[in-house]
Structure 1
Amino acid sequence: MPLPPVGVGERLLAGHTRISTQALTAVAKAASAEIFSVAPSAVRVSWADDAGSLALSVSSPMSSPPLSTVRGNPERVQRSGGSVVTRATEAKARIQTRVQELTGSRLSRVDIRISGLQATERGRVA
């Protein structure tokens, strides 16, 4: 997606600035990984044309307290950011904002697929 010309003093520089799909993908993976607290290698992203705009699809695991911990202390769900659905819904806007900030590209939408949960702390061994 071309970016508007950048002013240098009072003169505008002519030409095109393009961000490759590979660069957009790397930024989207890194932003998503940060938001879901997982490794970027665990995140998959793809791009689609949405009536001339960019649509981002993200498939990623999400960090979570171990289920054994949550079972013993249900308040941990709220302290970890809420339910999986709540956190995924909030992640959509955060990913969209972060990718737009970093790339200058405008996204029409972000689709999220949670592919699993990754425990963030070890449970006790019985």
Structure 2
Amino acid sequence: MVVSEHLTAPTEFAGHNRISTQALTSVAKVAAAEVLAVTPSQVRVVWNDDAGSLALSISAPMGAPSLSEIRRSPGRIAQSGGSILARATAAKAQILEQVEHLSGSALSRVDIRISHLSVRADGRVL
């Protein structure tokens, strides 16, 4: 005769989960790099206190096709996400969503400063 026990895990566990600033910074750098089409090493991240909430400030370049590529293929602007301003505005929401999803932390806002454009001669976004 086989006896089986059905064990259920408690819905709540005692203790705390903490994510270090370094881990949050790494998550934010990778999320921003993916959205802005650059490498994580090009992204600077600063965390700020926003009246008790967590605010993220990012300074990074943005990947973009070259002007000669845009002249050859004007539709490339729409393919890359629109103007620099439109892409930066959309990037805020995308980065906030990704960082919150991956870290479980709630952010009050994301501020982005585009430092320069990172352009490749072959027209590909980095």
TM bucket, shorter chain:
0.7 to 0.9
Structure 1 stretch displaced more, 66-75 or 112-121? 66-75
The higher radius of gyration belongs to 2
> How many residues are matched?
116
Q: Within 5 A, what are the aligned runs for 1:99-114?
A: 99-114=99-114
Amino acid at match of 2:84: V
Normalising to structure 2: TM-score of the pair?
Answer: 0.85
Amino acid at match of 2:57: S
Name the CA distance, whole Å, in 1 between partners of 2:87 and 2:11: 45
Uncovered stretches (5+) of structure 1, i.e. residues with no partner: 1-7
Segments of 4+ moved more than 4 angstroms? none
SS of 1:89's equivalent in the other structure is: helix
* Equivalent-residue separation in structure 2 for 1:20 and 1:33 (angstroms): 20
Identity across aligned pairs (percent)? 59
Alignment RMSD (CA, Å): 1.5
Cα shift readout 1:20-75 (whole Å, capped 9, x = no counterpart): 10100000000000111111000001000001110000111111111122234332
- The change in CA–CA distance for 1:68 and 1:11 in structure 2 (over 3 A counts) is closer
Which residue number corresponds to residue 3 of structure 1?
none
Q: What residue is the counterpart of 1:5 in the other structure? A: none
- 1:114 & 1:63 partners in 2: Cα distance? 10
Corresponding position of 1:68: 68
Query: Unpaired runs of 5+ in structure 2?
Result: 1-7
